[in-house]
């Protein structure tokens, strides 16, 4: 398992995109000001990603009645693994609270599962989908 992304779940995506592109001067690897997701090169193997908060809440089903869970996430730590299903099963067995089971997310280009750490931070294990 390796930490591949730190994903900030932002309210004002366009402003955040401009900040990291224009003020911080991080090269854009993927995405644009008009998308709901972008990745930046921060000079290390781990990338910084921006995701519109509402888009992640929709994907996890935490909109509506669960809108306050937990204050709609602000950050997610992403770990790339060789086998999402096996890693997810190991995490469940070890006691990690699962938010969403392994599933293909074709729009994202990954298979992913989501968990929470003891403080409620959102964790994702993923692997690129086979093409």
Per-residue pLDDT reduced to its tens digit, 58-79 = 887 776 545 554 456 788 899 9
Domain boundaries in the chain?
A: 2-128
pLDDT, mean of residues 23-43: 94
Which range, 55-64, 83-92, 116-125, has the best average confidence (pLDDT)?
A: 83-92
**pLDDT for res 71:** 56
Q: What is the pLDDT of residue 128?
A: 95
**Terminal alpha carbon distance of the chain:** 22
For residue 16, give both structure tokens. 């955040």
Query: What is residue 55's predicted lDDT score, i.e. its pLDDT?
Result: 83
CATH of domain 2-128: 3.10.180.10
């Amino acid at each position: 398992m390796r930490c591949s992304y730190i994903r900030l779940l932002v309210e004002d995506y366009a402003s955040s995109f401009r900040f990291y592109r224009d003020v911080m001067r991080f090269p854009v690897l993927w995405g644009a000001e008009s998308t709901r997701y972008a990745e930046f090169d921060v000079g290390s193997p781990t990338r910084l990603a921006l995701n519109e908060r509402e888009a992640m809440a929709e994907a996890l089903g935490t909109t509506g009645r669960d809108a306050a869970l937990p204050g709609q996430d602000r950050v997610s730590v992403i770990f790339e693994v060789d086998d999402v299903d096996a890693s997810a099963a190991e995490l469940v067995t070890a006691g990690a609270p699962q938010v969403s089971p392994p599933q293909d997310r074709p729009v994202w280009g990954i298979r992913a599962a989501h968990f929470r750490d003891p403080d409620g931070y959102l964790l994702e294990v993923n692997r690129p989908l086979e093409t």
